[in-house]
Every structure is written in structure tokens, then in C-alpha cells.
Amino acid sequence: MRTQTNFAREMRAGEEEQIDQLLRMSFASPTEAQQVRKLRKSRVYAGETVLPLGDEIIGYYALSYLIKPKGWLCLAPVAVHPEHQRQGRGKRMIGMLTEWARLTQSPIVVLGDPAFYEKAGFDGAMAAHLHTPYEIKKTMLAGVSTPAKQQELVYPPAFSGV
């Protein structure tokens, strides 16, 4: 079995089923796989990125446009195949994204485990003044050089119930 991953790349047409399977293996419920299908139908995706290992997809993340603030992105979901977790692959994949966000000054919001996302370049302090329907202590930002001013985060409808 090949152990070195290829570089992360844009998802290709026809890989949707592999991603669906990866999401179902990586999470305790089918919620994230269902969310991805809803986001694709609503056309609010900015992009889907995969991390291949040979012919297998072992990593995935999606970027969606927030409704507010305009131009901001939301990172969700993020998945790494359970057999490939805790090997630095997810951190490297997300680290490349946060570096792109920093270089382009593209704000990206994520909701998740600060222990993981802060090591990959997100910052909770930068998001401290945002108003969000989710836990603020798990809300982090990348792509900004100063803390965000007070403003409301409005997610696409596909995020309701998550």
C-alpha cells in the first residue's frame, strides 16, 4: 500500500461517491454527508478539496460562501479517513488552506476543535467579537491580520440543524 499522499487538489467530477463514503466513515452520523449534498445543490460552494493516496481519497474539505459578511468563506466539513488520522495529514491540508487565506487576505471561518484548528493556522481570538449561531469558543478565523469587528455570521441554509 502506498503511504505517501499526493498533494491536495480540487475535487473532480465523479468523486462525489468516494467523498460521501469518506464522510460517513469519518463522522458518527450521516449529517456531514447530507450537508455536503445540500451545499452542492444550493451552489454556495467556493470549492471542494481532496487529499488523494493513490486511487483513494483520504482527506476532504469544503469551502462555502457565508451569506454575511459578504466575501467570507466557511470551512466545513473537514474529514480525514480514520486509518489516516493523527499522522499530520489533516493539519498539513488545512495549514495550506490557512496560508492561502493569509496571503490573499480571504477570511475563512471554522467551527471546531481549537486544539486542532489553531495548530493549522486558525485563531479563536480573531473571531471573539463575532455573533454566531454556534459556540463562539469553537469559532475561529484565518485570513485576517486583526481581530474581526463585531458582526453577525450568517451561514447558508444547508447549515441549519448542524
Topology of domain 9-156 in CATH is Aminopeptidase (3.40.630)
pLDDT at 7: 83
**What's the CA gap between 91 and 117, in Å, rounded?**
8
pLDDT band at 5 (very low <50, low <70, confident <90, very high): low
CA gap 118, 125 in Å, rounded: 10
- Residue 115: the pLDDT is 93
Cα end-to-end span (Å), the chain: 36
Between 159 and 114, the higher pLDDT residue: 114
Q: Which three cell numbers stand for residue 61?
A: 474539505
Give me the residue spans of the domains in the chain: 9-156
pLDDT at 72: 97
What average pLDDT does range 48-65 have in this prediction? 93
Instruction: For the beta carbon of residue 154, count every other beta carbon within 10 angstroms.
Output: 16
**Does the pLDDT of residue 45 top 80, yes or no?**
yes
Tell me what the mean pLDDT of segment 45-65 comes to: 93
Beta strands in 35-111 (DSSP E): 45-53, 56-65, 73-80, 108-111
